[in-house]
Amino acid sequence: MNLRHKTSLLLGVVVSLALTISGFCMHFLYEKALRASVYSSVDMVAQSTAATIANYLESGFREARAIAVTLPLDALKNNHPAALERQLRMMAESFPNFRNGLFILNAQGDLLVDWPPHPEKRGRNFAFRPYFKRTRDARHGIIGEPYRSARTGQPVLTFTAYLQDRQGNFLGVLGCSAQLLDPAGLGALRQKRLGQSGYIYVFDISRKIILHPDEKRILVSDVPLGANPMFDRAIEGVDGVGETVNSRGISMLLALRRVAGSTWIVGAQEPRDEALSHINRVEFRIALAGLACALLAAIIGWIAVGRLMRPLRDLENIVEHLQLPAEDGVDDDVKGRTPGRLLPLQKNPDIGGLARVIYALYMELSEALVDSRKANSELQSAQSDLAQALDASWQLTEQLESNHRILSEQAAALEEANRQLKDTQSQMLQQEKMASIGQLAAGVAHEINNPMGFVTSNLNTLGKYLAKLRAADKEQAALLADLMDEEQAEAYLRQRRKSKVDMVFEDIPELLDESLDGAKRVRDIVQNLKTFSRVDQAEETEVNINDCLDSTLKIVWNELKYKAEVKKDFGELPSLKCHPQQLNQVFMNILVNAAHAIEERGEIRIRTWCERQQVKVAITDNGCGIPDEVRERIFEPFFTTKEVGKGTGLGMSIAYEIIQKHGGRIEIDSRVGEGTTFTIILPLDKTAVDDSATDDQPADHGQGEVRTWEKLLEESRTQETG
């Protein structure tokens, strides 16, 4: 893109930017003015509607009191419904607003008379109606809450008057019922429209809709708290205008005004998109005008810049065809031709200075080029001398590299020997420790089994003795009952109850059962200890991996039960020839690390299956997971992420070595914050193992701690067993 294109584009962009900014300002001002106009319009409608409703309610209240003044109270007091019915008929003709009817309830709330007459309802008690209770308690007429008539199903509004005799005794209540949706009354407000789809609605502070274009919503509280913020604020006593979202999720420009003398609130609203629709058309016109102006500015810039840049293009053509000087220097012919071609351009007021600068630069560069050619010839001579020196230095460098290579190989060999020595030392320490712990466990198990045999045998014998003793006591009690009189028998029973003999006989069997159960649990723990250690199995033996896992779970149960729920999914497995005590050590380290990875309460899932002549064990936890930087170093000896003094860093290193010696491998799938799965793969036939499968090194939880028998035995003394 050349300068002409760039200038035209820049001019178009500047014009477009200016028009865009001015368009945004116009849009803002126009929208502000239009919004204020809409707010004023809906507010005027809300205020006028509120005044109309207030006048309607006041008029109905006055008419109800006027009708009450005309009633023959003596007829009401003496229970003469005929006279009252004639008067109600006359009043119904004089006051057509009460199209739903007029009625009188006596002091007990019974329907005494109504017009139009409904004989089947006369005598029924309506004291439960809120308007009756409120009128009786307030001792004056009220405007009742709108409700749906049981007779017509239409929403009605009842105006009441308090009826009393000259002495102030309560005689009853006059009810004047108006149809809420009467077109001659408030029903006409439902037909008003603001714009195309705006409308008016009325509700009270109990959230009940009083008037609404949708008749299904009338007398229904279907606006939940929080669905319409301005609706909620109006109920709290704050009215005015603003933008809100109604209960149907539509943005509205809303005005809310209270109806004087009532708990009703009038809302006049118009959809925001409809009220501000004119702005979209204005925006489209502004965009078209801006695009046309930008295009015109780009065309004018294209033509003007083309004319202004003509001398510059001539200068570019001259500079492009300038000749380089000869090797022996800048001749007079070149000096003469160059200023002759640049002379007209040097007089140009726009680019004359640039032409003079180019001429001066050309002469300086020509002389510099001649000097550089001379220096280049001298440099080539010096390079030949330098090449000879470099040959000698290369020979010395090759000798030094050879010596460095030999030293590096020796250092690598020493490091490898040191690493192997450390690995061998750690494995020997662990093997000696496991052997001594296994012998200790077997000895402890043997020593515990002997006294536990005595305890179990004595408990069984004690149970038999208890049965004989209970039988003897029963026979003795029967004999004593025959030999003693009533007073002696009563004394014997009191002494027996005081000594709690029967309770002792009932409690001893439970104590014996609990003791036998505890002895059995101790015997099971000892058996699991012997099974796990297996010090008598130094050679490989065929075992079922499921049995090894069960034995390990029983040993480490105290470590797991407070941290996780263990779920087992054991499949059918063939026997595997292995060192079971070593595999138990691997399972123990992974299970304990899984428990440590769970912060509070989690889940550990153990799954076993056989696939392609391989036994697979997957141990999954939903703990903290393993970061990638920890996974890369997890099998390094003495590497641990635990605090100082809490981990040796040998657990997963030894586990990895044990699995490798069995011809297997460990795979890992871990996500930080979600959990980790260790998969141990052991071949049934070690000669068929693919060596490449051992390249993938899974990581542990960063715990790397060797779980020793000393620690487990110490924990088992302080915590309750399995």
Q: What's the pLDDT score for residue 698?
A: 39
CATH number, position 80: 3.30.450.20
Using CA atoms, how far apart are residues 67 and 158, in angstroms rounded to an integer? 14
Using CA atoms, how far apart are residues 623 and 613, in angstroms rounded to an integer? 31
Residue numbers in the chain where pLDDT is lower than 50: 535-537, 690-722
Tell whether 585 and 634 lie within a shared domain. yes
Range of the domain at 124: 71-179
Last residue of a domain, one of 219, 243, 278: 278
Q: Could you tell me if residue 376 is inside a domain?
A: no
Q: What is the largest CA-CA distance in the chain?
A: 164
Q: Could you tell me if residue 586 is inside a domain?
A: yes
Q: What is the CA radius of gyration of the chain?
A: 53
CATH number, position 581: 3.30.565.10
Tell whether 197 and 171 lie within a shared domain. no
Tell whether 110 and 252 lie within a shared domain. no
Residue with tokens 């071949």: 683
Total-model pTM:
0.41
Tokens of 178: 């108006």
Q: Could you tell me if residue 170 is inside a domain?
A: yes
Q: Could you tell me if residue 710 is inside a domain?
A: yes
Q: What's the pLDDT score for residue 186?
A: 86
Cis? peptide before 325, omega within 30° of 0: no
Q: Could you tell me if residue 16 is inside a domain?
A: yes
Contact 578, 613 (CB under 8 A): no
Tell whether 710 and 575 lie within a shared domain. yes
Q: Could you tell me if residue 612 is inside a domain?
A: yes
Tell whether 33 and 7 lie within a shared domain. yes
Contact 570, 608 (CB under 8 A): yes
Q: Sign of dihedral through CA atoms 596, 601, 602, 608?
A: positive
Helix axis angle for 580-597 and 501-533, nearest 10°, is 110
Beta strand 147-148 pairing with 155-164: antiparallel
Tell whether 554 and 592 lie within a shared domain. yes
Using CA atoms, how far apart are residues 371 and 375, in angstroms rounded to an integer? 6
What secondary structure, in 3-state letters, does 125-166 show? ECCCCHHHHHHHHHCCCCECCCEECCCCCCEEEEEEEEEECC
Tell whether 82 and 158 lie within a shared domain. yes
C-alpha closest to that of 438 among 545, 559, 549, 536: 536
Strand partners, 38: none
Tell whether 33 and 83 lie within a shared domain. no
Last residue of a domain, one of 146, 179, 212: 179
Tell whether 600 and 701 lie within a shared domain. yes
Using CA atoms, how far apart are residues 35 and 40, in angstroms rounded to an integer? 9
Which class for 705: exposed (0-12), middle (13-18), buried (19 or more C-beta within 10 A)?
Answer: buried
Residue 669 to residues 545, 549, 588, 596, 619, Cα–Cα distance (Å): 22, 21, 19, 17, 11
Q: Could you tell me if residue 659 is inside a domain?
A: yes
Beta strand 209-211 pairing with 665-671: unpaired
Domain count of the chain? 3
Q: What secondary structure does DSSP assign to 577-623, as a single string?
A: EE-HHHHHHHHHHHHHHHHHH-SSSEEEEEEEEE-SSEEEEEEEE-S
> At 167, phi and psi to the nearest 5?
-85, 0
Tell whether 634 and 674 lie within a shared domain. yes
Using CA atoms, how far apart are residues 272 and 270, in angstroms rounded to an integer? 6
Q: What's the pLDDT score for residue 652?
A: 78
Tell whether 645 and 551 lie within a shared domain. yes
Using CA atoms, how far apart are residues 593 and 546, in angstroms rounded to an integer? 20
Helix axis angle for 3-70 and 81-94, nearest 10°, is 140
Contact 146, 157 (CB under 8 A): yes
Q: Could you tell me if residue 284 is inside a domain?
A: no
Compute the C-alpha angle 138/144/145, nearest 5°. 130
- For 295-332, the pLDDT digits (tens) are 777 677 667 766 666 666 666 676 666 666 665 555 55
Tokens of 304: 């003007």
Contact 106, 183 (CB under 8 A): no
Tell whether 601 and 710 lie within a shared domain. yes
C-alpha closest to that of 51 among 233, 142, 177, 186: 186
Using CA atoms, how far apart are residues 164 and 135, in angstroms rounded to an integer? 12
Length reported for the chain:
722
Last residue of a domain, one of 133, 153, 179: 179
